[in-house]
Amino acid sequence: MARARELSHSNTNQDTGQALSATRDLTPIQRNGIINPDPDGWSNHRTTLNGPIRPEGAMDELFDFHPRRDKLYKQVADRIQHLIIADSLRPGDRLPGERELAERMGVSRTVVREAVCVLNDRGLVKVKAGCGTYVQELSPRDAAAHIELFLKLRQAPKPFQDIHEIRRVIEVEAAGLAAQRATTQDWLALEAAMEGMATHRGDREAYMECDLAFHSALAAATHNDLFSVLLSPISDLLRKVILISVYAPRSEDEGLAHHRHILTQVKQRDPEKARQAMREHLDHAQHQVEMVRNQMDECD
């Protein structure tokens, strides 16, 4: 059976040799029954699937596939995902059709369909009805989706303390880096968020959204996408924290003053003072949340 599979795979490559020629011997992706997650040389290959095939052989790598019986759909999804990571497939490239993928990877169309669903859930591809399946660029929001789901399902005994601690880790450093790296456009985004906060005093929901926009803009001003990825999953919890805090006396005016102080230090390019300004703001916000919650407990 193993010899027959090798012959079948060889014939497949010969049949498509003119269109999908390889320039080198491919590294086997399976050794001792385990798929090798990093075949040598993938990062040097590139293919487009909605136009002429490039000669580097990335399509041959895609179809050099020896599936195990367990979770075939995940193996197919992981295989395609690795090509995306290795830059062999790029945003805008179209995957082969469902039938072609099934035939050439030696799996059923159902397996391919499930694999595409997995890739879609991961934010790596987009299915366009009547057009095909295309590789898409992964956004920070897509990357953060699973963490966000985890936080929603997690029943933390002290969620507000947890969110305060993680904000100190992420946002204090974000403020320092923003002071070093922020551009004029970043300053404008921060100022626009602050203007929104000032305009919407008295409208707690709108004020809260502008407050959150300030913190998102500050994360973006680090010019390190990971800060946005880390901040995005806790955005719903941040909304709750901000919404509770604005019920404290003078919270909106004091919050606006804290944000203005942070922006001033960022614009003055002073990382340490920017970090300190953020620490003071987060501690102040935590104090407001605790005060409001204590008042609510007393009312109960």
CATH number of the domain residue 175 falls in: 1.20.120.530
Pair 158, 277 in one domain: yes
Neighbours of 258 (CB within 10 A): 18
DSSP 8-state class, residue 232: G
Considering Cα of 95, then 97, then 102, then 108, what sign does the dihedral take? positive
Provide mean pLDDT across the span 94-114. 90
pLDDT, residue 29, reads 33
CA dihedral 79, 80, 82, 85 (to 10 degrees): 180
Pair 163, 293 in one domain: yes
Last residue of a domain, one of 110, 138, 166: 138
For residue 49, pLDDT beyond 50: no
pLDDT, residue 212, reads 96
For residue 15, pLDDT beyond 50: no
pLDDT, residue 27, reads 31
- Of residues 155 and 60, the one with the higher pLDDT is 155
Closest Cα to residue 62, out of 84, 90, 44? Answer: 84
Pair 54, 121 in one domain: yes
For residue 2, pLDDT beyond 70: no
Torsions phi, psi of 67, nearest 5? -75, 145
The domain total for the chain is 2
Last residue of a domain, one of 138, 172, 204: 138
72-85 helix and 109-121 helix, angle to the nearest 10 degrees: 50
Pair 145, 291 in one domain: yes
204-220 helix and 159-181 helix, angle to the nearest 10 degrees: 50
Closest Cα to residue 168, out of 293, 264, 283, 270? Answer: 283
Q: Which domain holds residue 21?
A: 2-138
Q: Which residue has the tokens 């997995």?
A: 118
pLDDT, residue 6, reads 46
Confidence bin at 83 (pLDDT 50/70/90): confident
Last residue of a domain, one of 103, 122, 138: 138
For residue 31, pLDDT beyond 90: no
Would residue 233 be called left, alpha or beta, if left means φ above 0 and alpha means ψ between -120 and 50 degrees?
A: alpha
Q: How far apart are CA 144 and CA 160, in angstroms?
A: 20
For residue 158, pLDDT beyond 80: no
Pair 145, 134 in one domain: no
Provide mean pLDDT across the span 245-251. 92
Pair 190, 95 in one domain: no
- Of residues 210 and 139, the one with the higher pLDDT is 210
Kindly state the percentage of the chain with pLDDT values over 90: 48
Q: Supply the CATH number for residue 17's domain.
A: 1.10.10.10
Q: Which residue has the tokens 């395609």?
A: 80
Pair 60, 164 in one domain: no
